[in-house]
Structure 1
Amino acid sequence: MARRPSASIADGEVEEIPLLANKSTTSFALKVGEAHTSITLVEDERSDYLHGARDGWEPYPTEEERSGPHRLRRVGRKISWPAYLIAFVELCERFSYTGTAAVFTNFLQRPLPPGSTSGANPAGTPGALGLGTNVAAAITQFNTLWVYVLPLVGAYIADTRLGRFKTVCWCVAIALFGHALMILPSLPSIIPHRSLALPIFICSLLIMGLGTGGFKSNISPLVAEQQRGPQRLTVERDEEGERVILDPSITTARIYMYFYLMINVGAALGQLCMTFAEKYVGFWAAFSLPTIMFCLCPIVLWWGSSFYTKSPPQGSNLLHTLRVLALAFRPLLTLSPTRFLRAWTDPDFWERAKPSYVAHFGRTGRVAWDEAFVEEVRKVASACAVFVWYPFYWISFNEMYNNMTSQAATLTTHGIPNDVINNINPIALLFLIPIFDKYLYPFLRRRGYNFSPLKRMFAGFISVGSAMIWAGILQCYIYTASPCGYRANDPNCEPAGISVWWQTGAYVLIAVSEIFASITGLEYAFTKAPKSMKSLIMALFLSTSAFASLLGECLNPLAGDPLLIWNYAVCAGMSLGAGAGFWWTFRALDAQEEKDELGGRKDLEDEDGENDDRDDAGGVDVHGEALTLQREGV
């Protein structure tokens, strides 16, 4: 059995490595040489070790068990309840933010209905400030940019100063204040006075976005950190007695699947509740309900604070990372295409930043990092290169919240508000995520097909592009069936005689794309980032949505009659083209990652095996995440 190197422990001394707290333990004694050693294992490790010892097989898989013709089935661990608590915090935050954002457009764009002091309008469209389409679009677009740029700031603070948990707590407090402040401009005594209501609304929007932005980049890594058990492959028997491989990467993927499920539960409930609240009660109710729901976040964070796994701030390697990148990319700063291509394809591209390379070529100055740090930066750069393509995914995804909502208004809605129809997407995810987790992914693993993260991302691009093709074809039928022809969005035009439920296919395809691309992107950002930069890399992934918003501004001239078919066609072409470019660019990386997954883990086990000998102190290690060693005299 592979063991970690043990340290010499004097008589009567106790060495504790409490990396996992709050786990039930089991103690037993082993006799090693002339020493009697007492070992206490946490629950997860006890299962691994005792089952293996009892059944006569090693708790770690062999090469044959990993990838041979009789390889064992790979499964993930059960998700720990602290992870569900963190996911519930995200559910409350998404309910509050998404529910509030769902009514921004009507609050800003539409005027106060005649005789209404709250903005409610059961017989028509609610409204409040009456700023018009352009101003409302500008403010909501700025809000999107603000929320998706600020994660970079929140990530830096978490990685360098506060740690992720404390940063999340502070950001919840800031966002809660912003939510409470947003209620003021919607009160019946203030809402008729636009010159007073608008500044308060903008101020609350900035404060709420500040908290939301910092929250977003840290809650995703925090939920994945709640994963329990060893961070390597282990062999165990499942409930039916079958020997299986417990794969931490599958556990991480499952955590993000159900984390995303909670996101969509919150988003769907928030959008439905606030849409009807603004219509039948008023904007004060549409802004108050999210605030009340958001108050659960600090309560849950406080209640479970003693159970959560909390990573302390690791310090920032950002400056060193930038210097490594500068050394590696410096030869690319040339106007000569030949030199640029030679530098880009140079096999020593990353070697240029390593201390040995710098010293060999006699460059002045001393680097403050080692060779391993350069390799970390290389992996981070590879992950970030993957994210470069994501704006072309989000450009089609964002159509769900603007043009497809407008498209629903030109169809026969059967009395359902047009801005409620896009809830088909989160509702579809509530069904699809368990299906993918329980059936599709296990089926592919049993068949021996490695549906790797990069393959799933590629599938996500194809799926979202297909959704735009669906929407474009439907738009063709709308123009054909509408009594106004290519002016179907005219407010005075009657809806086309086509049911709004024909949009279902597009929304379901977008939901499938989210499982493949969005959830996998969160997983990839977490697993590929070093510990000191996890929040930062997550923020970089989230910021791709901000770039998509800027890209969407360029398509605004197509976002209207009679050019909507072209709008969907361009979006589909960009997503499908980006998907093809994505796979062409990273197919070699995908093969390398698959090789590293098998070979790298074997190297780790071999490295552990080199330290298999016990020292004179009689130290024993069974790869427990938290264990207590006490040497007692014999």
Structure 2
Amino acid sequence: MVQDTLAVKEEHVKPQYPKGIPYIIGNEAAERFSFYGMRSILVTFLVAQFFIPQGFNQTVADAKANEISHIFVALAYAMPVVGALAADWFFGKFRVIFYVSIVYCIGHLMLALYDDNLTGFQIGLIIIAIGAGGIKSCVSANVGDQFDKSNQSLMSKVYGWFYFSINAGSVFANIAIPYINKHYGAKWAFGIPGILMALATIIFFLGRKKMIKMPPSGVNRNNFLFISVYSLFNIRKKKKGESLLDVAKQKFDPEKVEGIKAVWRVMAIFAFVPIFWAMWDQCLSEWVLQATKLEMLHLNLIFWNIEVLPEQVQTANPIFLLSFIPIFNYGIYPLLDKIGIKTTPLRRFGFGLFLTGVSFVIIALIQEKVDAGQHPSTWWQILAYMVLAAGETLVSITGLEYAYTQSPKSMKSTMSAIWLFTVALGNTFVAYVQNSISHKGFFSRYVGADFYWFFVVLLAAFLVVYLFVSPRIKERNYVTEDENKVAAETTNL
């Protein structure tokens, strides 16, 4: 009776937010401001400061700037795998986030100091990419580490605020930094993001005694890479009726091997993700350079007439994205389900790719006008941002959901790392194309509007293959299975 009374009291205790959360969210908002603030002016700065003064024509200068931008993003999104392994196996998340953040600050400092030296500036970009990527996989996981059974009901709310801080940092940076660059110069425009990154590091350090720090677990041999490589080199041990990965069950945990089978199934869909990121990331580079050639946009807000700078137009993307998430989740998806059109993840993903292509059709049509010497309205590009944001809602968010539901608990971190790596692959391809253009290679035939039409045709080819492959992919919803398992166990009790 006493135990029952205590249990009832425990159930009615109001859960408390973890004390370290404000420091983590404050750190994330400042870090995202620094990253997106620097990136908002990166391509236009590279063109104006380094490549046009060297005597390159506009096409080559744009291609060189875009190549550097995409290599930077590719490195930043390849590094999360390294950061995750360093945190989980050797140092723990807190140490990786803190010490890599210091490295991150050094990168920003180099951008401000070497704004007239391309070599020093590029080294600064490499250091920032290592810093941003190194902590990326650790920060969101560090949020989850702060919770236990007493307050896990608050986790979804905290993650909501966490992702809000990411988009808030992006929006404010995209508005502020281009303005600072125009009126106060590049040193301040690159220096202020560095100051924000230093602030982010200080905020994180101040919360060190209030955060829960999970210790490293040591090297886990039952991982995706070890098991996949072992299976490949021991294919001769495969028995009739077994899959290739089954041979690894002789040496590794059989349950982990089954989980890695699920990862490979999901990767059949992930094979179509790099083309999405190859196109999406152009909205922060190629599209920004296009905006410099459009009719200047002015917004009349009550008493103020605001001139919108070309680098600020990209702010439309996070604004549309934040608006579309609730519209799709609470409006469009339920409505379509109600009228008998089931919005499965694979259907959402396919239509999201289609909308991404539509956004590029709009951009290509705009570029045709620019190539003809005209200056179309910036509102047309904002329309493209709106369509792209709808595509991002369908591809990016659905892709993350699909990866989560189609993989067992032991493989969710692996799926997260692979998802981020698809961003690196997409940007590596675009960097290769831009390098070819700048060196008069094969892709130099695709300049101006032809560049965007090339990606439209490429995506169309991917879509045709996707329509053939997606119905044949075997799905296994681990979340539903876990819920059914728990329900069955509860019934048996």
TM-score normalised over the length of structure 1? 0.63
What's the % identity of the aligned pairs?
25
The match for 1:507 is 385
Amino acid at match of 1:185: Y
Amino acid at match of 1:142: I
The match for 1:388 is 271
User: Cα distance, 1:282 vs. partner?
Assistant: 1.0
SS at match of 1:463: helix
- Structure 2 Cα separation of the partners of residues 168 and 547 of structure 1: 24
Moved more, 204-213 or 256-265: 256-265
The match for 2:301 is none
- Structure 1 Cα separation of the partners of residues 208 and 354 of structure 2: 41
The match for 1:295 is 198
- Structure 1 Cα separation of the partners of residues 400 and 231 of structure 2: 27
- The equivalences for 1:36-435 within 5 A come to 38-39=6-7, 86-111=24-49, 133=61, 136-186=65-115, 191=116, 197-223=117-143, 259-305=162-208, 308=211, 310-318=213-221, 321-326=224-229, 328-329=231-232, 348-349=242-243, 352-353=246-247, 355=249, 358=250, 367=251, 369-414=252-297, 416-435=308-327
The match for 1:473 is 365
Asked if residue 552 in structure 1 is aligned to residue 430 in structure 2, the reply is yes
Moved more, 582-591 or 78-87: 78-87
User: Cα distance, 1:391 vs. partner?
Assistant: 0.8
Asked if residue 29 in structure 1 is aligned to residue 9 in structure 2, the reply is no
Do the aligned partners of residues 578 and 418 (structure 1) sit closer, same or farther apart at CA in structure 2, a change above 3 Å counting?
same
User: Cα distance, 1:499 vs. partner?
Assistant: 1.5
Deviations 1:477-533 (A, max 9, x none): x16xxxxxxx44xxxx5x33x322012221011112222222344455566666666
- Structure 2 Cα separation of the partners of residues 319 and 131 of structure 1: 54
User: Cα distance, 1:43 vs. partner?
Assistant: 5.4
Equivalent pair of 1:387/1:544 in contact (CA under 8 Å): yes
- Structure 1 Cα separation of the partners of residues 17 and 394 of structure 2: 20
Extract unaligned runs of 5+ from structure 2. Answer: 298-306
- Structure 2 Cα separation of the partners of residues 350 and 435 of structure 1: 43
- Structure 1 Cα separation of the partners of residues 479 and 381 of structure 2: 40
Equivalent pair of 2:222/2:256 in contact (CA under 8 Å): no
User: Cα distance, 1:591 vs. partner?
Assistant: 4.8
User: Cα distance, 1:139 vs. partner?
Assistant: 3.6
Moved more, 465-474 or 531-540: 531-540
SS at match of 2:296: coil
SS at match of 1:411: coil
Amino acid at match of 1:153: V
Deviations 1:394-424 (A, max 9, x none): 1221231333233333332246432322222
- Structure 1 Cα separation of the partners of residues 215 and 276 of structure 2: 34
User: Cα distance, 1:293 vs. partner?
Assistant: 1.8
User: Cα distance, 1:163 vs. partner?
Assistant: 2.7
User: Cα distance, 1:325 vs. partner?
Assistant: 2.0
User: Cα distance, 1:281 vs. partner?
Assistant: 0.7
- Structure 1 Cα separation of the partners of residues 233 and 414 of structure 2: 23
Equivalent pair of 1:317/1:533 in contact (CA under 8 Å): no
Deviations 1:38-72 (A, max 9, x none): 5377558x799xxxxxxxxxxxxxxxxxxxxxxxx
Higher RCO (CA < 8 A, seq sep 6+): 1
- Structure 2 Cα separation of the partners of residues 261 and 450 of structure 1: 29
| Matched length | 472
Amino acid at match of 2:193: P
Amino acid at match of 1:203: I
Do the aligned partners of residues 562 and 380 (structure 1) sit closer, same or farther apart at CA in structure 2, a change above 3 Å counting?
closer
Give the alignment's Cα RMSD to 1 decimal. 4.2
- Structure 2 Cα separation of the partners of residues 87 and 383 of structure 1: 31
Do the aligned partners of residues 560 and 267 (structure 1) sit closer, same or farther apart at CA in structure 2, a change above 3 Å counting?
farther
- Structure 2 Cα separation of the partners of residues 609 and 347 of structure 1: 36
- Structure 2 Cα separation of the partners of residues 451 and 310 of structure 1: 40
SS at match of 1:348: coil
Amino acid at match of 2:462: A
Do the aligned partners of residues 537 and 155 (structure 1) sit closer, same or farther apart at CA in structure 2, a change above 3 Å counting?
farther
SS at match of 2:217: coil
- Structure 2 Cα separation of the partners of residues 347 and 265 of structure 1: 52
Equivalent pair of 2:40/2:284 in contact (CA under 8 Å): no
- Structure 1 Cα separation of the partners of residues 412 and 188 of structure 2: 38
Equivalent pair of 1:109/1:130 in contact (CA under 8 Å): no
Amino acid at match of 1:469: V
Equivalent pair of 1:80/1:227 in contact (CA under 8 Å): yes
Amino acid at match of 1:540: I
- Structure 2 Cα separation of the partners of residues 307 and 534 of structure 1: 27
Amino acid at match of 2:487: E
Do the aligned partners of residues 80 and 507 (structure 1) sit closer, same or farther apart at CA in structure 2, a change above 3 Å counting?
farther
Do the aligned partners of residues 316 and 472 (structure 1) sit closer, same or farther apart at CA in structure 2, a change above 3 Å counting?
same
Equivalent pair of 2:44/2:288 in contact (CA under 8 Å): no
- Structure 2 Cα separation of the partners of residues 83 and 390 of structure 1: 32
The match for 1:625 is none
The match for 1:461 is 353
- Structure 1 Cα separation of the partners of residues 134 and 389 of structure 2: 26
Asked if residue 574 in structure 1 is aligned to residue 458 in structure 2, the reply is yes
- Structure 2 Cα separation of the partners of residues 383 and 562 of structure 1: 33
- Structure 1 Cα separation of the partners of residues 2 and 329 of structure 2: 40
Amino acid at match of 2:394: F
- Structure 2 Cα separation of the partners of residues 405 and 110 of structure 1: 13
Do the aligned partners of residues 318 and 217 (structure 1) sit closer, same or farther apart at CA in structure 2, a change above 3 Å counting?
farther
Amino acid at match of 1:544: T
Find the structure with the greater CA-based Rg. 1
Deviations 1:323-365 (A, max 9, x none): 43245445879xxxxxxxxx99x8521563354xx4xxxxxxx
- Structure 2 Cα separation of the partners of residues 436 and 425 of structure 1: 16
Extract unaligned runs of 5+ from structure 1. Answer: 1-27, 32-36, 49-77, 113-126, 192-196, 233-245, 334-342, 359-366, 480-486, 613-634
Deviations 1:114-144 (A, max 9, x none): xxxxxxxxxxxxx998585265445434323
Amino acid at match of 2:425: F
